[in-house]
Every structure is written in C-alpha cells, then in structure tokens.
Chains A and B, each alone.
Chain A
Amino acid sequence: MNILIIGCGRVGRRLVGVLERLGHDVSVVDAEAANLGLLRETEPPFSGMALTGVPIDGDVLRSAGIEDCDVVAAVTDDDNINLMAAQIAQKVFGVSHVIARVEDPSRKEVYTERFGLRIVCGTNLTAQGLLAGILQEEDSETQCVVFGSSTANFSAVPAPRALYNRPLAEASPPRAGMQVFGVQRANGTMELACTGPLVHVDDRIVFAEMAD
C-alpha cells in the first residue's frame, strides 16, 4: 500500500520502520528537517520519500504524494495539527482511510463521536497498559484488539482454586468494567463463556475490558 505518515517524531519513525519492513511504500512529512534526518540512520536506511514542510499545507501534502495514497496517518505530537491534517486528507484529497493520533482523551472523544474520525489516543492506551501492570496479578497475559477508534483488552488470569469444577459463570472479574470472556484450557484451546463451561485445574480465565 502507499502510506503517508505525517509527523516524524518517535511515533512516526517507529511506524515508518515497521511499515517499510512489512513491504509498504511509505512517504513521510515533517515540519523539521532534523526529524527526517534521523530516518537515514535506521537500519536498513529509509527508502521512501521524506519531505520537509508544514503538514497542514495542501501543496506540501500534494508534493508528498497524498493524491496517490491508500492510507494517511497523522501522528505529530500536536493534536490540532493531526486533526486538521486528517480532515484535509479526507475532505480535500478524498482519502478514505485516514487515522489520527490525538493525545487528549476528551478531544479524542469529541472527534470520534461527532466527526467520525478514526483516532488512536496514546494517553488512554498508555494509562490502561500501566493500570493493567499495576493492578493485575503476576503470571497473566494480555492481548489488545483494536476496533475502529476503540481498543479492547483481553487478559488471561490463572483460575482461583475456589472455582475448580464450578461453572465459569461464577467467576467474577477483578475490577469494574471487565467481563468474563471465556476460559483457556491447559492445552491451549479456549471456550467462550456463553457455552457454559466448567473451570478445570490449570485453566486460565479470560477477561475482557475496554482499554479505550
């Protein structure tokens, strides 16, 4: 795919690296030439187009090839620039697959709910990740799944003794906002809560909650 990354700070550089390794054609725009310079030092070196320019300037975006892009991701550290660039990509250049990074949680809420923009909020994800680390027991495993602008967390926790041979329905999640999703057996298979399984020794209970 042709992907345009707007913003070449830590997040942008990481995205560029991963996407290039996956084989996509990546172009990057940043207002500071110095940020783009850091791309040359990656291993292997960046092979796409890097353009210095104001990311909310239509001419700059055009020079960066936005008209031929399949995806545009606005990931600078400035929420307002990201929101403006994302809307320019959508409304002025007609790119349908657009995603923006917005760090302020309330701003993220306004723009996902009222403007239908696809947004990732680093603040929420970081807080949730740390929360899981702070509150969860040792020896548990977590997976994140993204749906649109929301992220669901699944965590697998060893089943307490008290639940052995009891219905999974009797399990209670460690905190509010979590629900029982299923049970993971010792052999690695999993059963959903709706099938009404019994909890066995060495099972892990899988809980689901919204990270963002």
Chain B
Amino acid sequence: MRVCIVGGGNVGFYLAKTLSENGHAPVLIDENPALCRRVADSLDLTVVCGDGTLAEVQEGAGVANCGALAAVTGRDEINLIACQVAKQVFKVRRTVARVTNPKNTAVLKALGVDTAVSATDNLTQLIEREVETNAIRQLLALAGGTASLTEVLVPEGFAHAGKTLAQIAVPKDVVIVSITRAGELLIPRGDTRVMENDKLVVLAKNTAFHSLAKSWRLSSER
C-alpha cells in the first residue's frame, strides 16, 4: 500500500523504515531539508521536502494515490491539518495522527481524523498497570484505551473468599465476565462464589478497575 508519512523525525523515520520492511511503499514529507536528506540517504523511498499541511505539497507527494496518510510530527495542530487536507482534498481512505497532548485524541477524532494515537496515554496505562500488581494482566484494551478486559488472580487470604458476587462489593462499571477454577470456566451470576486462586476475567473502565484493585486489596505477587 502506498502510505504518506508527514514528519521525518524519529517517529516518522522508523515508521517509514518499518512500513518499507513490511512491503509497503511509504512516501515521506518533511519541511526540514536536513531531515529529508537523512531519510533519503538511509532509506530507499521518495522524500518530499515541503510543508505537509499544504495541498500542493501533498499533491506533489502523490497523496491522491495513497491508501493512508500518517501525520507524526511533534505538533498536534500540524498533524490535524495534514490529515484533514488529505481526507477532504485527496479523499485518502485512512488518516492517522500522532497526538502529543492526550486530551487532543478525542478532539482530533471529532474533527475527522480516523485514528489518533497518543504515545503518552499508552505509556501512562502501561506504567500504571505495572505498578498496580502482578496478579493483574491486561488481555485487551477497549474503547480507544479507556476500558480493558483484564485477567485477575484472586490471592490467598482474599477478604471476600467464599462470598457470592452479589455479596461482594463489585464497583460500578465493572463486570466479572468469567471465573476459571481448577481448569473449568464458569460464567458467573450473582450467586456464584469467588474463591482464592480463581482466575477472573474482568471487563471494566480503567478508572473503575483502579477502584476494584483497591477495594479487593489485590496486591500479592503472581
């Protein structure tokens, strides 16, 4: 697939390199002649030196024939405008923007960018998960990273061991999807009991998950 990358810094460079290695045909646009030269010298792909937010520059880079445009500069406003121009003027099917201020992720999506990726958000979640406890393992991120499917190991000495789900205080915005005990998977209802060493699969909004970890005092090691 022909992919246009706006931004030739580290992110753009390694993105172009990876896409190339995966068999795609990246075209890179950057304003800085030195960066353009670096990319052109190290990688075998077309580099256009110019302002990637301008329609003429995108046209010169063949954006009209690209299946996707990824705007990965360090400035959210540049990434937004590049994606908007690509979509509106050249009808690019898929636009992806790197977002530096996590709050701009929702804004860029509202303004028409197909996918907005915040490295800060991803790192924050990873760090918070690691610090949480080893008895918790994220299986799947959902809803743009605001919710998760997580596997939880019920520790020895669990305060609510033996109680039913109805009796335990399960926080709002948390659903216990399954309980695996002695190799057998149960789909729980309010009268299902939770025992030590059970493996639970929990569907929850991330903020609610913090409350769960706290109220169940999930702090032992796996």
Contacts and interface: CB of A to CB of B under 8 A. Distances in A.
A154 B120 CA distance: 53
A107 B54 contact: yes
A115 B53 contact: no
B77 A59 contact: no
A110 interface: yes
Given A106-B54, A115-B84, A91 B110 contact: yes
A201 to B, nearest CB: 50
Contacts of A106: 54-56
Contacts of A59: 103
B89 A114 contact: yes
B57 to A, nearest CB: 10
B85 A56 contact: no
A123 interface: no
Contact of A110 (B76, B88, B111): B88
A104 B53 CA distance: 11
A88 B103 contact: no
Contacts of B110: 91-92
In which size bucket is the chain B interface?
20 to 34
A81 interface: yes
Interface string B92-134: 0000000001011001001100000000000000000000000
Contacts of B54: 104, 106-107
Contacts of A140: none
B89 A110 contact: yes
Interface string B54-97: 11100000000000000000011110110011001100000000
Contacts of A91: 110-111
B77 A78 contact: yes
Contacts of B75: 80
B111 to A, nearest CB: 5
Contacts of B76: 56, 84
A83 interface: yes
A88 B24 CA distance: 34
B103 A80 contact: no
A66 to B, nearest CB: 13
B81 A114 contact: no
B217 to A, nearest CB: 34
Contacts of A54: 101
Contact of B103 (A57, A78, A81): A57
A88 B76 CA distance: 13
A88 B101 CA distance: 14
Contact of B88 (A58, A88, A107, A115): A115
Interface of A: 54, 56-59, 78-81, 83-84, 87-88, 91-92, 104, 106-107, 110, 114-115
Interface of B: 53-56, 75-78, 80-81, 84-85, 88-89, 101, 103-104, 107, 110-111
